[in-house]
Amino acid sequence: MSHTASASAKKAMEAVRSRTHRYATLLFAELLLMLIYPFFTGIDFRRQVFRVAAIILFSAALYAVLGKGRLTLIAFCLGTPAILTRLLNVITHAAVFAMADEVLGLAFMIFVTSVLVWTILADASVTTDTLAGAVSAYMLIGLTFGLAYMLIGHLVPGSFRDTIEPGKQLSPTEYTFFSFVTLTTTGYGDIVPWLPHARALAMIESIIGIMYPALLISRLVGLHSRKRDAGEEH
C-alpha cells in the first residue's frame, strides 16, 4: 500500500515538473517572438526573423497542450498546417501562402489560447506551474489578437492608421505591439484602429485584458483561502 502511494506521488511530481517545463518553453518562445526582432537590421529581414520565431512559438504551443487527449489531437490538426504553411511562406514569399499562413495561424492560436486559459482557470492548485501557465496564457491572448489585427489589416486596408507616418503599411511586429497596448489598456500612441471591424476587435481585447487578470486573481485568492481553511481544520 505504501509502495503504491509512493509511486502515485512520484508520478504526480513528474507530471507537475513536465507541465512546468512545457509552460516555461512556451513562455520563452513568446518572449523570443516579441523581443528578438529589434536586434536585426532591415525591415524585410526582421519580418523573416519574426516569422521564424512564430514557427518556434507554434511548436512550443503544441508542446504545451500535450497529454490533453482529444484537445491535443485537435491542436495537432490545426497546428501542423499552420507551421508548414508559415515555413513555406518563409521560403517562397508567395502571396497565397501569406494569406493561408495568417488564417491557419490565427485558427490555431485561438484554439490553443482558449485551451490554455481554460486549463489555468480550472486548475485546482496554486503552483509554480499555474503561475507560469497564467503568464503564458496572458501573452498568448496578446499574440493571438495581434494575428487577428494583421489579418483584418490585410483584408480591409486602412483598418489601422499610423498617426506619425500616415499611409504607412504596418508590419507584423507593429500589429503585435498594438495588440499588447490594447490588452494592457495603456493607451494608444502612434497606431490607432480606424475602421469599425478594427475598433470592435480592439474593444473586445480591452475587455479581456481587464477581465482575465481579475478572474485569475480571484481564482488564485479563492484557492489559497480554501487551502488555508483546510489547513486550519486539520
Do the Cβ atoms of 82 and 58 come closer than 8 Å?
Answer: yes
Beta carbons within 10 angstroms of residue 92's beta carbon: 11
**Angstrom distance (rounded) from CA 131 to CA 138:** 11
Q: Please give the pLDDT value at position 111.
A: 93
Q: How far apart are CA 169 and CA 175, in angstroms?
A: 10
Question: What one-letter code names the amino acid at 180?
Answer: F
User: Collapsing DSSP states into helix, strand and coil, what is residue 125?
Assistant: coil
> Do 151 and 110 contact (CB within 8 A), yes or no?
no
- pLDDT of 112: 92
Which neighbouring-strand residues pair with 191? 162
**Range 150-177 average pLDDT:** 85
Say how far residue 31 (Cα) sits from the centre of its chain. Answer: 11
Distance CA 147, CA 70 (A): 25
Q: Which three cell numbers stand for residue 61?
A: 504551443
Q: Which ranges of the chain does DSSP label H, i.e. alpha helix?
A: 2-35, 43-64, 70-92, 95-122, 128-155, 172-183, 196-233
Q: What local confidence, expressed as pLDDT, does residue 12 receive?
A: 46
C-alpha cell at 106: 490565427
Is domain 17-233 annotated with CATH 1.10.287.70? yes
Is 129:19 a contact under the CB 8 Å cutoff? yes
Of all helices (H) and strands (E), which one includes residue 161? strand 160-162
Render pLDDT for 65-95 as a digit per residue (tens, 0 to 9): 888 888 889 999 999 999 998 888 878 776 6
Tens of pLDDT, residues 14-39: 444 445 577 888 888 888 888 877 77
3-state secondary structure of 166: coil
Task: Tell me how far the alpha carbon of residue 196 is from its chain's centroid.
Answer: 24
Confidence of residue 152 (pLDDT cuts 50, 70, 90): very high
d(CA 130, CA 208): 19
User: 486602412: which residue's cell?
Assistant: 158
